[in-house]
Structure 1
C-alpha cells in the first residue's frame, strides 16, 4: 500500500512538471505572436452619447445648394455621406414631403397627398418621434418649425413643439436655446425661406432672391452649429447633423442638362447630408442613366397628305417569314409627346408589313399604344381573323429605346411564338401557331399607316432598323440592344435582310446597308434633324433606389440614436453607410 502511494505521488509530480514545461513553451511562443510595431490602443476609445441636429430646407434644389458653395453647408460634407441629387416625391406639396421625411414611408403608406391630411394613415405609420419615445423615452425631442402647418399637423409628438409663422430667424433663435440645454437629444429645425423665395421669384441659383435665401439659411445653420459646439458636454457627445430638403421647385433647365430621367426634374431635385466627425466623406453621385446617342435623323410624323413617312416596295419578298424559319425585327425609337402632349397613342403604327390594321389582313405592325408599344399581328386562317397583340413596354420618357420582336419557330414542336423585348429585356411571349400565312405583298412602311382606329398620328424618330430572316435568341437581343450600330460580331449578321441606320443626314432615302440594297424612299415634307440623347435609360424605380430619398432620413436618424427599427414598422427608408475616421482621432 505504501509503495502504491509513493508511486502515485511520483506520477503527480511528473504531470506537474510536464504541465509546467508545456506552459513555459506556450508562453514563449505567444511572446513572438505579434511582431514589433506601433499599435493603436483602441481600449481608450470612449463611447459617446449619440444626438442629432436635423435641419429641413424646404424648396432647396440640390444642384443650387451645391453650386452656391455656402460656407457652413459645404463644410459639413468634409465628414459626411451626401448627395446633391436626392429624389423627393413627385407630389411636391409640403405636407407630403414632410410626411416622407418624418414617417420613413412613401405616400402609398402614410396617405398624405395633395397637401391634405384627409384620410391620412398616421395611425399605422406614425411620425418617427413616436418610435423614439416608445423605444428610448429618455431622448428629448424638440421640433422648431418655421411653417405652422408642419408643427400643427405632424410634430405634435415632440417633447417641445413650436411654430413661428414663417419666421426662420425666430425658429433659429429657439433652436439655439434648445441646444444650450443639457438634455437636448434630437433637435429638428425646419426653414421655409428658400421655398418662399423660389415660389415668388424662381427656383434657381441664377435668381438673386433665391440665391440670397440659400445663403441666409446657411447663416442660420452656422448659428446652430456654433451653439452645438459650445455645449459643455460636446466632447462627450456624438452629434450627427442632418441637412436635407423636402422638395425642389419648378425651373426650366438647359437641354444639355436634361437626360429625360427623374434626375432632371427640378421639382424633385433635393439634397441630403448626413454629417458627423467620425465619417469619412462619401459622395453619392448620379448613377448610370444610359448610353449617349448622337446623330442626324428624320422626324416621322403626321397623317394623310401631310405625313412624313418612308416605304419600300417589297417586290422581292425580302421580309417574309420563311417556311420553317423565323424573323426578327429590331429598331431604335424615340417617341415624341404627340398631339395629345403626353405620349399617349392608340394603335398608331410606326413600322408595318401589312396593308391595314383591320382584322383579317395578314402581316405585322409595330404600333404605339397608351404609353408603350406592341406588335399587332393580322391572322389569316379559317375561323381566326382577329388581330393578335403582343405587348412591349413603356417608352414614353422622351429617350431613345431599343425595341425588338422575334418570330421563333420550334421545328420539333411545330409551333410559332412571338417574343417582344425593350432595351434588351424580355417583355411578352405569345403562341401564334395556326394563325395562317402572315406573308403579304404590302410595302415595308415606316411611319403613318392609314387606319380608322389610330389616334393620334405618329410622332417619332426611328433609327438602326434591322430585319433578320432568323429568330434572335433572348441573349442575342440582350447583348446588342444598347449598341448604336450593328457590330461585325453580331451572331445574326449573315441572316440580315435589311439594315437601315436612319442617320444618313441628307438625301431622300434611308440607305440599306445590307446586301439587298433596298432603300427606304422618304415621302412628304421631310427634314434631317440633329439629336443628342440617352438610349436604354435606367428605369425611374432603379434610379430612385440608388439615390437618397426623404424616407431614408428618419431611418438614418433612428439608427444613429441606436433605436432599432422593428420590421413590423414596414419602413421604406434605408441606412446609408460609409467608412469611419480612425477611433484614435476621436
Structure 2
C-alpha cells in the first residue's frame, strides 16, 4: 500500500494517493476496513503514563502521539463534531453540547461520505451518548446508544463477529466521567483506574478483531483517540505558555495497522527559552518602576536622515483593567511625553498590539502598527527606520516586525524634520503617555543599531536572546541592554557606548525561565494530529478521495508500508 511517510516535525500531504493493489506487498487484494474508538476526556499525557498495556502493545506498529490536540473549546459536542465531519467549529457550527446551531447539513459526518462512495459498506456506530447517536451517526446502518462503556464494548465485539462489518465506531465516556468527578490526571486513582478499564475493554475488542474468520484477508486501520482532555492544574515548570500546556485540549491518537512502522509524533518546537532575572516595569507617577539613561550624549538623537533599528523583547502582563488591552502607554521612548507636539519617538501599547510613534512640533504624530503581543508570552518586536527615494525625494520609511515577521510600513511626511530631543531614553512609564493606566511589562534584550537591519537579518536573529560579535551588524550596535543582570540598580549597556539604564522606583529582580517567540496555536495545531484529521484519514484508508467542495480541513497521517 502506498501512503505518506510522516515524521514528527515535517509537513504532511493532505490527500493520500490511491493505493496500488498491483504491487507485491502483503496487502494485495485485502479489503480496507476501519475500527474507530473514541475515549472521551482521556488526556494524552495521562494515557501515556497510565500503564495501559493493550494500548502500549500497539505502538510498535502505529503512528501515535500523546501531544495531539482537540478543538480549543474542549466541549464534547464540538470535539465530536470535528471528529466526525473533518472540519472545525467555524464550519460545522457545533458550539455547545446541544447541537443548537449546527451546519451538519452542509458538512455531513464521514459515514455519509462513505455511503455515497461505497453503499455496500456496513457501518455501525455505538455510543454512551444519545446526543452523539442522534446527531453524528447519519449514514450508519446500525446506530445505538447504551448506558455504559461495557455495553458499548459488547456491541462493538458483536459487530466485529459479523462477516460484513466494515466500519465500526465505539464512543466511551467512563474516563471523562471519572475526570469530571475526581480530576483529569493519572495521579488521581479513579481517573487512572478508568483509563485502565478502557484498556481492558480494548484488549477484548482487539481479540475479537483478530479472531475474525477472514482477518488475514482484511486490512484494518484501528483508530484510538480521545475527543479532548480535561482541566487540571499542571506544575508551573511544565507550563510553556502554549496550547500544549492546556490540559483540557491535550488528547492522544493511535493509528494502528500490523504492517506499520512505529512513528511517534512528538511535541513540536515551541520557541527558545528565555532565562534570567528581570525587573517588572509598571506603575505611574511617584509609584512608577521604570529606567532612564540620564545622559546618552545625543547618541539616540537620529535627526532627519539617520537610519536606525530598535529591537527588544517584551512580555505584556494584564493591566489595571484586568486584561491585556492597553490605551497608549509607552514602553520605550526618546521623548519627553506622549503629548501632541512633543518631538521624538516612542514604542507603546494600544489595545492588544504594539506601535511606534513619531512626534513633531506643530505636526502631531505619525505612527505605524505592529501586531498583537498581549498573550502573556515573550515576543520580539523591531522597528526599522530607513531612507528611500520616492518620486525623486528622499523620504523616511518606518517598518515594523514581530517575532521576525514583517508587519507594516509607513512613509513619514517629506517635511517631518528631525526628531532630536533632550529627553532621556526611557524604558517603562513615561509621563503623559497613559490613558487608562500604565504599561505592565517585562523587557529585555533591548538593542539600538545605527543602521537599517535588512528583513532577513531581523528574521534570523529575532528570537535569539543575546547578541555578540557573530552578528553581521555588530559594529553598528549603539546600545545593548540584556536587562537580565539580576542585581544592582542598572540595566547595564554591553555595547561600546556604555549607556546604562538607571532603575527608578521600588524595583525587584525576578527569575524567569520561559519561552520566546512561540508559534501561534493554529500553527502548532497543524504539527500534531487533531480531531478533524480523523475523517480524512478514514476516507483515505478506504480509498475514497476527498473532494474540494467538501471543504475538509484535516491532514492524513498514514505510514508507508
TM range (shorter): over 0.9
The equivalent position to 1:463 in structure 2, one of 424, 432, 444, is: 444
The equivalent position to 1:311 in structure 2, one of 267, 271, 292, is: 292
Cα 1:449–1:159 change in 2 (3 A) is: same
Mapped pair 1:406 → 2:384: yes
Cα 1:214–1:43 change in 2 (3 A) is: closer
User: How much does 1:238 deviate?
Assistant: 0.9
Distance of 1:489 and 1:528 partners within structure 2: 29
Q: What pairs with 1:425-574 in structure 2 (closer than 5 Å)? A: 425-433=405-413, 434-451=415-432, 453-574=434-555
- Structure 1 stretches of 4+ moved >4 Å: none
> 2:396 corresponds to which residue?
416
The CA deviation string for residues 234-278 of structure 1, in whole angstroms up to 9 with x for no partner, is 111111110011111101111121111111111111111110112
Structure 1 alignment gaps of length 5 or more: 1-40, 581-586
Cα 1:532–1:228 change in 2 (3 A) is: same
Moved more, 446-455 or 514-523: 446-455
User: How much does 1:220 deviate?
Assistant: 1.1
Cα 1:377–1:60 change in 2 (3 A) is: same
Cα 1:322–1:362 change in 2 (3 A) is: closer
Cα 1:492–1:454 change in 2 (3 A) is: farther
The CA deviation string for residues 48-70 of structure 1, in whole angstroms up to 9 with x for no partner, is 11111100011111111111130
Distance of 2:316 and 2:368 partners within structure 1: 19
> 2:129 corresponds to which residue?
147
Q: What pairs with 1:189-268 in structure 2 (closer than 5 Å)? A: 189-268=170-249
Moved more, 495-504 or 225-234: 495-504
> 2:5 corresponds to which residue?
none
Distance of 1:198 and 1:457 partners within structure 2: 41
The equivalent position to 1:51 in structure 2, one of 8, 33, 44, is: 33
> 1:23 corresponds to which residue?
none
Distance of 1:426 and 1:472 partners within structure 2: 12
The equivalent position to 1:74 in structure 2, one of 47, 56, 59, is: 56
Q: Is the 8 A contact 1:204 1:211 kept in 2?
A: yes
Q: What pairs with 1:321-400 in structure 2 (closer than 5 Å)? A: 321-380=302-361, 384-385=363-364, 387-400=365-378
Total equivalences in the alignment = 536
User: How much does 1:352 deviate?
Assistant: 1.2
Q: State the secondary structure of the residue aligned to 1:461.
A: strand
Cα 1:540–1:413 change in 2 (3 A) is: farther
Q: What pairs with 1:26-65 in structure 2 (closer than 5 Å)? A: 42=24, 46-65=28-47
Cα 1:201–1:45 change in 2 (3 A) is: closer
The CA deviation string for residues 365-421 of structure 1, in whole angstroms up to 9 with x for no partner, is 11122222111222335xx31x22211122233322211111111267411011111
Alignment RMSD (CA, Å): 1.7
The CA deviation string for residues 285-313 of structure 1, in whole angstroms up to 9 with x for no partner, is 11111111211111112222222111112
Moved more, 355-364 or 54-63: 355-364
Q: State the secondary structure of the residue aligned to 1:97.
A: helix
Q: Is the 8 A contact 1:380 1:436 kept in 2?
A: no
> 1:36 corresponds to which residue?
none
Q: Is the 8 A contact 1:325 1:471 kept in 2?
A: no
Q: State the secondary structure of the residue aligned to 1:302.
A: coil
Moved more, 445-454 or 496-505: 445-454
The equivalent position to 2:66 in structure 1, one of 84, 97, 102, is: 84
Q: Is the 8 A contact 1:309 1:447 kept in 2?
A: yes
User: How much does 1:337 deviate?
Assistant: 2.7
Distance of 2:40 and 2:366 partners within structure 1: 51
The equivalent position to 1:133 in structure 2, one of 82, 102, 115, is: 115
Higher helix fraction: Structure 1 or Structure 2?
1
Cα 1:241–1:43 change in 2 (3 A) is: closer
Distance of 2:477 and 2:84 partners within structure 1: 57
Cα 1:445–1:49 change in 2 (3 A) is: same
Structure 2 alignment gaps of length 5 or more: 1-22
The CA deviation string for residues 91-139 of structure 1, in whole angstroms up to 9 with x for no partner, is 1111100000000000111111032312211111001110111110111
Distance of 1:452 and 1:316 partners within structure 2: 24
Moved more, 114-123 or 191-200: 114-123
User: How much does 1:494 deviate?
Assistant: 2.4
Question: Which of the pair has the greater relative contact order for Cα pairs under 8 Å at 6+ separation?
Answer: 2
User: How much does 1:323 deviate?
Assistant: 4.5
Structure ID, larger Rg: 1
Distance of 2:352 and 2:93 partners within structure 1: 27
Distance of 2:370 and 2:499 partners within structure 1: 28
Q: State the secondary structure of the residue aligned to 2:301.
A: coil
